[in-house]
Structure 1
C-alpha cells in the first residue's frame, strides 16, 4: 500500500491505485478458493454427502449480507466493518461488543492457516511430529510480519490465478475420472445435491461450516480508500462473492460426484484438510504436489494478510486504550516500525494450532462472523428505515426492511445450527468482551473511548449530504 499527501488538508492518505478487478482479486485471495477442498471431508460427513447444496445455502445467506455491506460502504466510505456501522447507527457500546465478536475471527484466521499448513505437511511427511510444522510456519510468518507488513494486489492476483488454473485442471481430471466410471460414474447427477436420507437440518449444519469459506468478501471494504473509484467497492463485494461462490459450488459438485461416500477418507481428511488426499486420488502424486503447492502459496498470502490485519487492529486498540495492556499492544518497534508485541501475541495464539482441529476452529470463527453479519444487516434497517425514514413505497420497504431483514433471519438461522462446543466457547468470549466493556466504561458511567482502528462519525455527521448515498 502506498501513501499520498492530501493537498487540501495536508493529511496523509492512501493512494487510490486499485481498480475493480484488483479489489475483486484481493477479496478472492482472502477467501482462498482452494479451501473448498480443505473442508470437504468435514462437510460431506456432516451433510450426508451434499456439500454443493450446503454451499448454495451459505451463498444465499452471504448474498443478503453482501448487499448490506455494499449499502453501508456508501455511507462510510473511509471505514468498513460491523463495529463501525453498529457504533454509529445503534450505539458505541453495542458496537464494541460486535467488534469484540469479530475480533475472534481476526485472531483465529492465522491459527486456521497454520492448521491447514500442518495438514499439508503431514500428508507428505506423516512420520514427522505435526507440532514441528506449526512452530516453524508460525515463526516464519511472525518474522515476516515483524520486518514488514506490506502486500501488493499484483502478487495476490497472481496467486489467485494460479489457484484458479489448478482448480480448472482438477475439474478436467475429475470429469475424466467420472466418465471412466469413478464415483457416481456420470458428469451430471442430482446425487451430489440431494438424495435419500438427506434432511434440511444436515444441509444447514453444513452451511454453518462452509460459511467459513466465504469469510473475506467483507474484507474488501478495507480497500475503499485505495479504490480508484470508491463507488466500485459495492460491486466488487458482490462480484467476489459470486465468483467465489461459483468456484466453491462447481468444485464441490465435482468432488462430491467423485467421492459420494467419504467413509474411506483418512481421519486427517475428516478432521482437518482433505485437499492432499483428494488431489492424490484424482491426479496422482504429481497433481497432489501441484495443487498443494498452489494452496500452500495462497495460505501463506492469507496468513500474512490476516496476521498483519489483526496485529494492526490490536495496535490501534492498544494505542487508544489505557493501562499496561494498552501500552503492550500499542508498542511500535523503533527500527521496523511494526507493532511487534501485537505481532508476537498473534503468533503465540496461532501456536494453538498444535492442539486444535479445523472443524472446531472454523465453527468458532463462524460464531463471531455470523454475529457481525447479523448486525451489518440490522444497521441497514436502523439507518435507512429508522433514522432516515426511507420507507415510502414498496421499493424502499423492500430495500431497507425486507432484504436486510431476510439477511438477519438467515444469519441467525446459521448461528443456531453451530456446534454446541463452538457456541459455548463463543459465548464465553462474548462474556469476556462484556466484562471488558464494563471496565472501559466504568459500568457505563463513562462513554466508550476505545477505537477499534476506524473513525466512527458522530450521529450528526450521518445526515450530512455527503453521507446520504442510497
Structure 2
C-alpha cells in the first residue's frame, strides 16, 4: 500500500501557546508605544483593552471553527468550507498578505538591530544569514522550531517582568506619574474615542499570532489542543500587552523625553535602567523578534501548503511534505526567499498593510461561524444557541469591521491592489470561471476516515 506522508503531530498546548506568543512579539508594545501614545493622546492601555475585546470575540469564533474543521489553513479553510471556494480563495489570498509580510518585517527588524551595532557590515549579510538560519530550523522539524521558540519567549517574558519590577521602583521614587495606581493611562479629559479606535488598529498588529496557531492544527497532539491554545494565547498576550503599556504610559506620560517616536524601545530601556539595562532590553527585543520570525515563517508555510494541497496553488510543490522531516519544505523555502526582500531599506508601508489582510481574515472567521452553525446546522432554536452562534460572532464581525474602517488610506489602497491581483489569478485558474476551483475536501476526508497502520499519521 502507498504511504502518504503527512505532517507530524508533536505539539502540545503550551508549545502551541509559545508559538502564538512568539508570533505576537510581546516587546512590540514598547516599539510602538510612542506612535500609539501620540495617536491616542496618552491612553495606550485603553487602545490595547479595545483591541483585546475585539480579539477575544474573534478568538472564540476561531475556537468553534477549529473544532469543526481540524485542518491547517485557518480563515482560508473555514471560509472555503462554509461560504464557498471562491470566497475562501479571496480570504486566503488576503491572509497571505499579512502572513507573507510578517516574516519579512522580522528580518528587517533584525537587520536594523545588527546594522546599528555593526554599521560597517553590508546589510545583506545579516538578512541572508538570519533568513537562512530560520528557514533551516523550520525545515528540520516543527518540534525544533517550537522548542527554540519556547526558550526565546521565556526569556522575553522574564525581561518583561524585570521591566515591571524596575518600573515599579522608579515610580516609587517619583518617575512619571509617581505612583503605580492611577487612571491617567486609561482615561483623562482629552481622550477622544475616534483617536483611541485608530490607535487600536495599530495595536491590533500586536495580536496577529493567535489566529496563526490554527495553522498547526494538523501537528497538534489532540483535537482540543489548538482551541484551548487560542484562548490562552489571546488572554495571556493581551494581559502582557496591557500591563506593559500601562507601566510604560505611567512611566512616560510625556513623550517629549523621546528623540525617536517611531521606535521607543531603546530609549525606554535607557531611561528606565541606564545603558546596561538598555542593552539587556534590546537583547530581549532581539530574542522576541527571532521567536516571531520562527513562528511566522512556520505559519505562512502551512497556509501555502494547504492552498497547494487543495489545488489552489501548484500541488506538486506547494502540497509537498518531505518524507524525512515531515515538513512542507518547498513552502518553507519560498517564505525564506520572500523574506530576503528585507535587504531593501524601506518596508514601512509593507508593515502598515499587514493589518489589511488580518482584519479581513478575522471578519470572515466570525461570519463562518454564522454560516456553519446557523445556516448549515440550523442551530438557532434556543436563546443559548442564538447567543453563541449569532450574537457573539456578529459582534466579532462588527468590531473587526470598525477597526478595518480605521486603517490608513495607503494600507487600504495597497490591500485592494493585492486583492485585485488575486482576482486576476482566480480568473486564470478557473479559465474565466468556466471550471470550479479545485477542492481537496472529499479526498482529505477519505484519507482521514480510512487511515490504516500503513499510513504515516500526523
Q: Is this a same-fold pair by TM over 0.5?
A: yes
State the distance in 1 between where 2:350 and 2:33 align.
15
- The answer for the alignment partner of 1:58 in structure 2 is 51
Displacement, 1:356?
Answer: 2.6
- The answer for the alignment partner of 1:29 in structure 2 is 22
Q: Is the 8 Å Cα contact of residues 56 and 249 (structure 1) preserved in structure 2?
A: yes
Displacement, 1:145?
Answer: 4.7
Question: What pairs up with 1:360-439 in 2 under 5 angstroms?
Answer: 360-439=349-428
Q: Is the 8 Å Cα contact of residues 72 and 217 (structure 2) preserved in structure 1?
A: yes
- The answer for the alignment partner of 2:169 in structure 1 is 176
The correspondence for 1:355, drawn from 346, 356, 362, is: 346
SS at match of 1:397: helix
SS at match of 2:256: coil
State the distance in 2 between where 1:308 and 1:400 align.
31
State the distance in 2 between where 1:99 and 1:215 align.
15
- The answer for the alignment partner of 1:303 in structure 2 is 293
Displacement, 1:309?
Answer: 4.0
Q: Say what the alpha-carbon RMSD is for the aligned residues.
A: 3.1
Displacement, 1:147?
Answer: 4.0
- The answer for the alignment partner of 2:212 in structure 1 is 219
The correspondence for 2:265, drawn from 255, 262, 275, is: 275
- The answer for the alignment partner of 2:235 in structure 1 is 242
Q: Is the 8 Å Cα contact of residues 107 and 310 (structure 1) preserved in structure 2?
A: yes
Instruction: String of CA shifts for 1:355-400, please: whole Å, max 9, x gaps.
Output: 133xx44431111000000000000000000111100110000001
Displacement, 1:214?
Answer: 0.6
Displacement, 1:172?
Answer: 0.8
Structure 1 residues 223 and 329: alpha-carbon distance in aligned structure 2, compared to 1, 3 A threshold: closer
- The answer for the alignment partner of 1:264 in structure 2 is 257
The correspondence for 2:183, drawn from 170, 186, 190, is: 190
- The answer for the alignment partner of 1:5 in structure 2 is none
Displacement, 1:16?
Answer: 3.5
Q: Is the 8 Å Cα contact of residues 13 and 225 (structure 2) preserved in structure 1?
A: yes
Structure 1 residues 145 and 249: alpha-carbon distance in aligned structure 2, compared to 1, 3 A threshold: closer
- The answer for the alignment partner of 2:275 in structure 1 is 285
State the distance in 2 between where 1:254 and 1:78 align.
39
- The answer for the alignment partner of 2:39 in structure 1 is 46
Displacement, 1:199?
Answer: 0.3
- The answer for the alignment partner of 2:452 in structure 1 is none
Displacement, 1:435?
Answer: 1.5
**Larger mean Cα displacement after TM superposition, 238-247 or 338-347:** 338-347
State the distance in 2 between where 1:122 and 1:262 align.
26
Structure 1 residues 98 and 291: alpha-carbon distance in aligned structure 2, compared to 1, 3 A threshold: same
SS at match of 2:211: helix
Displacement, 1:262?
Answer: 1.7
**Larger mean Cα displacement after TM superposition, 367-376 or 231-240:** 231-240
State the distance in 2 between where 1:314 and 1:389 align.
32
Question: What pairs up with 1:434-453 in 2 under 5 angstroms?
Answer: 434-449=423-438
Give the paired residue count. 440
Structure 1 residues 327 and 221: alpha-carbon distance in aligned structure 2, compared to 1, 3 A threshold: closer
Displacement, 1:277?
Answer: 1.3
Normalised to the residue count of structure 1, the TM-score between the two structures is 0.85
State the distance in 2 between where 1:334 and 1:21 align.
26
Normalised to the residue count of structure 2, the TM-score between the two structures is 0.87
Q: Is the 8 Å Cα contact of residues 209 and 362 (structure 1) preserved in structure 2?
A: no
State the distance in 2 between where 1:72 and 1:458 align.
20
Displacement, 1:78?
Answer: 2.5
Q: Is the 8 Å Cα contact of residues 82 and 99 (structure 1) preserved in structure 2?
A: yes
- The answer for the alignment partner of 2:99 in structure 1 is 106
Mind listing any 5+ residue stretches in structure 2 that lack a counterpart? 450-458
Structure 1 residues 113 and 322: alpha-carbon distance in aligned structure 2, compared to 1, 3 A threshold: closer
State the distance in 1 between where 2:78 and 2:443 align.
11
Instruction: String of CA shifts for 1:55-76, please: whole Å, max 9, x gaps.
Output: 0000000011100000000111
Structure 1 residues 144 and 312: alpha-carbon distance in aligned structure 2, compared to 1, 3 A threshold: farther
State the distance in 1 between where 2:294 and 2:275 align.
28
Q: Is the 8 Å Cα contact of residues 329 and 342 (structure 1) preserved in structure 2?
A: no
Instruction: String of CA shifts for 1:224-272, please: whole Å, max 9, x gaps.
Output: 23333321321211011101100100010000011112233223xx22x
Structure 1 residues 401 and 427: alpha-carbon distance in aligned structure 2, compared to 1, 3 A threshold: same
Structure 1 residues 221 and 419: alpha-carbon distance in aligned structure 2, compared to 1, 3 A threshold: same
